[in-house]
Structures are given as structure tokens and as C-alpha cells.
Amino acid sequence: MDAAKLSALPEDSEEALTLNPDDSSSSPKLPPISAFDDRPATRSMPQKYSPLEWSDYFDKEEDVDIPDSQSVFHVYTAGTHGPIVFCIHGGGYSGLSFAIAARQMKEKAQVVAMDMRGHGRSCTDNDKDMSIETLCNDVLAVLKALYGDSAPAIILVGHSMGGSVAVHLAAKKVIKSLEGLIVVDVVEGTAMASLIHMQKILASRPQYFHSIEKAIEWSVKGGSLRNVESARVSVRSTLKYDESKKCYTFRACLEETEGYWKGWYEGLSEKFLSSPVPKLLLLAGTDRLDRSLTIGQMQGKFQMVVVRHTGHAIQEDVSDEFAGLVLNFISRNRIGPHGVQRTWRSFPIFLGLLTKTTDFELLPYGLRETKRYNRTWHYQERGRASV
């Protein structure tokens, strides 16, 4: 949730209908997305902002039932081979936020994007419980339901709020097959500083739309997206239809989750730096980098890429470039479906036998000492090493 990227579009009465925010009527039931297409208001709007189908980008959608709970998470998948790129969207977005990128990545990776609780077409017993612990448990539950205890290699990709979830999961070391972490445009310092403005920003948005097309148009002209195609496929899943008022409103009630915001981002930088997997941070501007991350980046603890000419939703605004960066990260770190692919050619020509006073760790590009004292090297035949 980036304050700088959510300026509101001035409304007129024909484009967005704003009702009394104190209206205490019960929340309407969310109909299937396919039901939206039959409404008269939708058919009369310009083709430029007409919604696109998820099936043009993902191969499959499914509802994942979580055992011993009433939670059902909606999941989109694409691709049949390669490591799993598990995508976690930001607050107010949906799994379809990664749709165009998924189309580009599915030839070399398996892309999985879930609707988080309170978002998209997922349904839980408490959609307003957006604590970081609950969100992390939701992701773990979906992974468990999909893959059991034998998940292929996983790269977590998280945007904004989803980036916080990905970092917390990586830092906890609870996903055994986790091989990479990609965080999209969220750092602790900027996020924490923007929280005091978020209620005002959320209140400035149009509260209701006459049609999906009007919502798509607003999201591009005055909202958070810059890519019309991505908006056409993703915005519809961020809305729900109010039968009583005959209009659309936002699916996620972000205003009611304020009590959890601080927990999403507090301590995020240290958790990111401590995550024991290869890391990539994608930013829309260098001003977002806080002090601890600046030091960590200078020390080579993670890879950072500043993506130009984009807004907060990098994965939507420049989907092709985003997909290329993810695939390059996978290739650069030699992540295959069963983990990091290491060969003897990856190691130095002369590998040695290390004494017990020296620890070491194996990396994709060789061997690195982790203790700089009391070292003794003993060369061994055929390049094998043991401690």
C-alpha cells in the first residue's frame, strides 16, 4: 500500500456513485465472477475498459478447502514444470494481479497465485482477521493442501502486504523447499511512515461504481495501475456487487484492518536480511530503500533492481519486465524443480578437506567459508570435500 501511488480521481455523478459511509447494511454476498458479464451496464461501456478473462493468462483456477476450518482459498495456476513461483498479492489486489506475468513465466516455471483472505474469491470464517500470523498460516495451509509434505522448490513472490507475508515466512524457515524470495516494492521505513496517511487515502477513493468498466477506468486514470490490459483482467476480482444498491464496491475492507497494519511491516528489513535464501528486492524508486537495507545491499546480502517508469504495482504496470526479472532470478540462482542445481563444475578446481574448526556452506557458485580463523586446507583427490 504505497501512499504516493493512490491519488484519487475526481468523480462526477455518472462515473462513480458515493453513498453514505455510515450505512450499516450487511455486507452483500459475492457472486461468481462469471455472473458479472450479464449485467446490462457492463455491455454498454467502451471496449477499451471491458474486463478480460483469467483463462487467457492462467491455465486453471480452483478452490482449495482447508481441513478443519471453514476457509476456502481461490487459487490460479499456470505451467506444468519447473520450480513453483508462489505469488502473494498486496492489500486491495488479488491473485490476478500476477496474470500477465504468469502468461510469460509459465513456460519455465509453475506459477501459483492465491487470493488472500478478505480478497478476491477466497472466503474464510473471519475475513477481517488480517494479522500477519493469520496471513502466514493461510499461505502455509494452501501449500500443504496443494503439495502435502513433498512440495517442489518454491520461490515466494510478494507484493506490498504480500511481500511482508513472504518475508515473515522466509525468516521463520517453515517452508522446507523454499529456495528464493522476491519482494516487490515494500520496505519497512517507507511502509511504516505511510501508515498514518492510509485511512485518508482509502477514504478518498470512490466507494461505489455503476459498472466494472468504470472501476477499471478509474484504476488506470486515477488509481493504482498504469497498465490497461492488466487492469482489465485484475480489477474485476477486487470488486463485489451490491444487489440492494445495484452497484459495485471494493471487495477488501482495508479500512477495518488498520489494527494489523503495523504488524505487517514492523521489523521487516531485519527479517528480510536474515532470510537464509537468495533474495531479490524490486523497487519502483531508490527513495524507498531504508538504512538497514542500504547497508545490506552494499554488503551483497541481496540483489536489488530499481524498475523505472512504473507505479507501486510493478508486476502489473510492467508485467513483461517483471516476468523477465523473476525468470532471470531463477536462472541466476540455478533453481530447478527439486532445488538448487549444483554440479561439481560449480566448485573451485581445488576443493579441500576442511578441519572441524572451519564451517562452510555450499552456494550455487561455489564454496564460501563462514569462519575466518584457524583454517587448514588439505587437498583431496577428485574434488571432493568433507569436514
Contact 249, 117 (CB under 8 A): no
What ranges make up the beta strands (E) of 24-177? 60-65, 72-78, 84-88, 110-114, 154-159
Longest CA span, the chain: 80
Q: How far apart are CA 344 and CA 350, in angstroms?
A: 11
Q: What residues are labeled active site? A: 160, 185, 312
Contact 118, 143 (CB under 8 A): no
What ranges make up the beta strands (E) of 71-207? 72-78, 84-88, 110-114, 154-159, 178-184
Q: How far apart are CA 232 and CA 37, in angstroms?
A: 13
Q: How far apart are CA 71 and CA 123, in angstroms?
A: 6
Report the DSSP pairing between strands 178-184 and 239-242. unpaired
